[in-house]
């Protein structure tokens, strides 16, 4: 019997809805991005994001159902992002989902946004399954997680300060690339040489944790010194070198983690995994070490609802059901061992 999950995502500046069959087949995926709107302000304005979600959520869900060729009656579970994210933005998706669950009598399942990013891999790789190591790199997270099976996970490395996405967005802004910084820095780096500028790489003895604040400060120092001295920064070379440093640091800890856990399956998830420098670097390291590497297509790396429906399907199989008291968990934090 096929299981159809409806996914709803509103944790940041994308309102999204999708219908997924058996956690693997996308029947429809609708994403309404507010990025262009927020770019005028140089970043996401939380209050405006919530208001835009309110305006968009109904047409978004209608379109996802229509494009899937299904009706609400066909859906087995309504899965919604519960956190982490912007509280006002999360509440729009959660309140709407609760209403939908109440009127339709369908089960409600709250999904962790980070688990959803990882689950995006199930949508495109039929041979993807545990055990695997996941590198989660988004605007707010940088983690290496070991998943021996679909019920357990252990965080074996995480950032001690900035997330990789934050470190990228901040420097992209100072370089004048604007918002959203990641994709723009990615495009700039394609025209640059990765060894033009030297940046520090931070590693911790006996740990696979990350730290990107030193790298960010080093980059800011180079940019400030150049500005004061009237020098010119080659944005393409700077972007390529900066991204290369981040990618090499991430890849090195991932490969070491795979070796330590004796795991030859590695996946990437989250917005920064759309980055072409990171994808190429991880591919090179994985191939060299005989590790199978998975990552979603770019449109499933950044926020979408198909990943929420895919993660919701795994919870559905485990029997997870939420009450209508489900609340937003803006700082939903993952423990090292779950
Ligand atoms: O997963 P995501 O869409 O939202 C969060 O859950 O945070 O990730 C957003 C992050 C931002 O920092 C954005 O700049 C970054 O992902 N990003 C990229 C690229 N596309 C998105 N970073 C580097 N290269 C990209 N192509
Ligand atoms: Zn995300």
**CB-ligand 1 contact for 112 (6 Å cutoff):** no
Helix (H, G, I), strand (E, B) or coil at 135: strand
Percent of the chain with pLDDT over 70: 99
For ligand 1, the distance from its centroid to the CA atom of residue 259, given in whole angstroms, is 27
Find the mean pLDDT for residues 80-99.
Answer: 97
Task: Write down the mean pLDDT value for the chain.
Answer: 96
Q: Would you say residue 337 has pLDDT above 70?
A: no
Q: What is the pLDDT of residue 150?
A: 81
Asked if residue 30 lies in contact with residue 18, where contact means CB atoms within 8 angstroms, the answer is yes
Start-to-end CA distance of the chain, whole Å, equals 30
Q: What is the pLDDT of residue 184?
A: 96
Q: Count Cα atoms within 13 angstroms, Cβ side, for 77.
A: 30
C-alpha 57, offset from chain centre: 21
Q: Count Cα atoms within 13 angstroms, Cβ side, for 168.
A: 35
Spatial separation of the C-alpha atoms in residues 281 and 115, rounded to whole Å: 24
**CB-ligand 1 contact for 140 (6 Å cutoff):** yes
**CB-ligand 1 contact for 270 (6 Å cutoff):** yes
Find the mean pLDDT for residues 263-288.
Answer: 98
| Residue of the CA atom closest to atom 16 of ligand 1 | 271
Find the mean pLDDT for residues 267-295.
Answer: 98
Q: Would you say residue 14 has pLDDT above 80?
A: yes
Find the mean pLDDT for residues 214-230.
Answer: 94
Asked if residue 79 lies in contact with residue 309, where contact means CB atoms within 8 angstroms, the answer is yes
Asked which of 40-44, 59-63, 76-80, 231-235 is least confident by mean pLDDT, the reply is 40-44
Provide the whole-model pTM: 0.95
């Amino acid at each position: 019997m096929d299981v159809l999950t409806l996914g709803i995502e509103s944790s940041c500046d994308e309102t999204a809805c999708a219908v997924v069959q058996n956690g693997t087949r996308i029947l429809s995926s609708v994403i309404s991005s507010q990025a262009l709107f927020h770019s005028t302000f140089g970043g996401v304005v939380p209050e405006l994001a919530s208001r835009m979600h309110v305006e968009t959520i109904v047409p978004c869900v209608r379109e996802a159902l229509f494009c899937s060729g299904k009706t609400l009656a066909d859906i087995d579970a309504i899965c919604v992002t519960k956190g982490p994210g912007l509280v006002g933005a999360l509440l729009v998706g959660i309140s709407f989902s609760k209403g939908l669950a109440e009127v339709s009598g369908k089960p409600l399942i709250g999904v962790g946004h980070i688990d959803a990013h990882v689950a995006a891999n199930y949508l495109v790789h039929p041979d993807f399954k545990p055990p695997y190591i996941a590198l989660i790199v988004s605007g707010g997270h940088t983690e290496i997680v070991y998943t021996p099976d679909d019920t357990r996970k252990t965080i074996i490395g995480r950032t001690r300060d900035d997330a990789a996405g934050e470190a990228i967005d901040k420097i992209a802004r100072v370089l004048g690339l604007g918002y959203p910084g990641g994709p723009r820095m990615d495009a700039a780096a394609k025209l640059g040489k990765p060894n033009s500028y030297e940046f520090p790489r931070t590693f911790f003895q006996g740990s696979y944790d990350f730290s990107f604040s030193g790298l960010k400060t080093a980059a800011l120092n180079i940019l400030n010194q150049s500005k004061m001295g009237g020098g010119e920064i080659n944005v393409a070379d700077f972007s390529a070198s900066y991204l290369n440093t981040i990618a090499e640091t991430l890849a090195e800890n991932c490969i070491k983690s795979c070796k330590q856990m004796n795991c030859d399956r590695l996946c990437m998830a989250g917005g920064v995994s759309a980055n072409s420098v990171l994808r190429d670097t991880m591919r090179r390291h994985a191939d060299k070490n005989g590790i199978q590497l998975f990552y979603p297509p770019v449109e499933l790396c950044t926020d979408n609802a198909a990943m929420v429906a895919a993660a919701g399907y795994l919870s559905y199989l485990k029997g997870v059901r939420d009450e209508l008291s489900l609340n937003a968990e803006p700082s939903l934090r993952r423990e090292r061992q779950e």
